[in-house]
C-alpha cells in the first residue's frame, strides 16, 4: 500500500534529484565563482569591500586586518556601539567647536580616596570614572600610585594656556607641546595627564605601569615616542585619553598602538562601517 513512508521517500528522491541537477547542471560551468561571502555576520561587507575600507590605513594595519578580518570587525562593532565622543578625532586639523563641553563633568573630589589628584577642582567626564578608578586600584595593588595632574580643560582655559606658552616660547615651539584652543583632547573631558608632567615620567613606576597596562582599562597613550610627525605633538608619556576598552584593544591589536591612526581611520570610515552594519549600531557621529 501507499504509505506515508513511500511518499516521503519519493519526495526525498525528487529533492535529491533537484540538488544533483543544481550541482551538475549547465549553469555550473558558466556561473561566476561563488559570491564572496560576508566577512562578518553583522556587516554586509565582502573581503574586497573591507580591503577597500582599510586602504586608508598604514600597511601593517592592512595586513593585520587581512589576517583576522572577523576579529577586526567584531572590535569595530563594539567601538561603534560605544558613545561617539570616545573616538571623535580632535587634532591640529580637526578642532572641536569653541562651544563644545561635555555635559557630564564631575569633580575628581567626588572620588577622593579612590583616585589620586593634584588639584581637587579638576573635572573629568563621568564616562571615564569607573575605568579610571579601576585602573588606579589595579596600579595601587602593584604598589604604584597614579596621580591626576590635569583633566578637563575648557576652550577658554586652553586659549589662556596656549597664549601664555606662546608668549614664553614662541607660537611654533608652543604648538609642539601645547594645543591651540579647540585642538586639545582635554576639552573632551576624557583625557588625563598624570603627574609629574615631565619627560622622566616614562621611566618612573607610574609611567612604566601605564605604558604596559592602561589599554586594559580603555586608556590610550595619545602622543607616543617617534610619532611626532603623525600626531603633531612631542612624546607625552603622561597624557592618556580614554577611548573605551574595545577601542583600546582595537588600537593595540590592529593599529600598532598608535591612537592617531585608529582615530583617523574611524573618522574617515566610521559612517561607511555603520552603513554596512546589518543591524543599527551606535548613535552616529
Query: Is 247 within 8 Å of 86 (Cβ atoms)?
Result: yes
Q: Determine, following the binding rule CB under 5 A, whether residue 40 of this chain makes contact with Zn ion.
A: no
Q: Which listed range, 9-17, 98-106, 136-144, 187-195, lies at the site for Zn ion (CB under 5 A)?
A: 187-195
Q: Determine, following the binding rule CB under 5 A, whether residue 269 of this chain makes contact with Zn ion.
A: no
In the list 85, 193, 251, 264, the residue contacting Zn ion (rule: CB under 5 A) is: 193
72 vs 240, beta carbon nearer Zn ion = 240
How many residues at the interface with Zn ion, by CB under 5 A? Answer: 2
Which CA distances in Å does 148 have to 17, 121, 125, 238?
Answer: 72, 11, 14, 10
- d(CA 232, CA 259) in angstroms, rounded, equals 13
In whole angstroms, how close is the CB of 238 to Zn ion at the nearest point? 7
Handedness of CA 20, 21, 26, 32 (dihedral sign): negative
For the question of residue 236 being annotated catalytic, the response is yes
The catalytic residue among 67, 121, 142, 236 is: 236
In degrees and rounded to multiples of 5, residue 167 shows phi and psi of -65, -35
Query: Is 188 within 8 Å of 263 (Cβ atoms)?
Result: no
Q: Which listed range, 67-75, 193-201, 202-210, 269-277, lies at the site for Zn ion (CB under 5 A)?
A: 193-201
- d(CA 245, CA 223) in angstroms, rounded, equals 18
Residues 229-268 that bind Zn ion (CB under 5 A): 239
For Zn ion, the binding residues (CB under 5 A) are 193, 239
Catalytic residue numbers? 236
Amino acid at each position: 500500500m501507499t504509505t506515508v513512508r513511500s511518499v516521503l521517500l519519493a519526495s526525498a528522491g525528487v529533492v535529491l534529484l533537484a540538488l544533483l541537477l543544481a550541482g551538475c547542471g549547465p549553469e555550473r560551468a558558466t556561473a561566476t565563482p561563488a559570491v564572496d561571502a560576508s566577512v562578518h555576520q553583522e556587516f554586509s561587507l565582502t573581503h574586497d569591500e573591507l580591503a577597500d575600507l582599510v586602504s586608508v590605513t598604514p600597511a601593517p594595519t592592512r595586513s593585520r586586518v587581512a589576517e583576522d578580518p572577523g576579529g577586526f570587525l567584531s572590535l569595530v562593532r563594539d567601538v561603534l556601539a560605544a558613545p561617539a565622543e570616545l573616538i571623535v578625532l580632535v587634532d591640529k586639523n580637526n578642532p572641536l567647536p569653541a562651544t563644545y563641553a561635555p555635559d557630564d563633568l564631575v569633580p575628581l573630589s567626588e572620588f577622593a580616596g579612590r583616585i589620586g589628584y593634584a588639584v581637587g577642582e579638576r573635572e573629568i567626564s563621568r564616562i571615564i570614572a569607573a575605568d579610571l578608578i579601576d585602573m588606579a586600584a589595579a596600579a595601587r595593588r602593584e604598589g604604584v600610585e597614579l596621580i591626576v595632574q590635569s583633566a578637563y580643560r575648557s576652550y577658554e582655559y586652553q586659549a589662556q594656556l596656549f597664549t601664555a606658552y606662546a608668549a614664553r616660547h614662541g607660537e611654533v615651539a608652543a604648538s609642539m607641546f601645547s594645543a591651540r584652543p579647540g585642538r586639545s583632547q582635554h576639552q573632551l573631558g576624557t583625557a588625563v595627564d598624570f603627574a609629574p608632567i615631565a619627560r622622566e615620567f616614562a621611566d618612573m613606576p607610574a609611567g612604566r605601569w601605564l605604558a604596559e597596562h592602561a589599554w586594559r582599562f580603555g586608556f590610550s597613550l595619545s602622543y607616543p615616542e617617534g610619532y611626532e610627525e603623525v600626531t603633531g605633538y612631542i612624546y607625552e608619556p603622561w597624557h592618556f585619553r580614554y577611548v573605551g576598552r574595545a577601542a583600546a584593544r582595537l588600537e593595540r591589536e590592529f593599529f600598532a598602538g598608535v591612537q592617531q591612526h585608529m582615530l583617523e581611520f574611524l573618522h574617515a570610515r566610521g559612517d561607511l562601517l555603520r552603513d554596512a552594519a546589518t543591524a543599527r549600531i551606535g548613535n552616529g557621529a
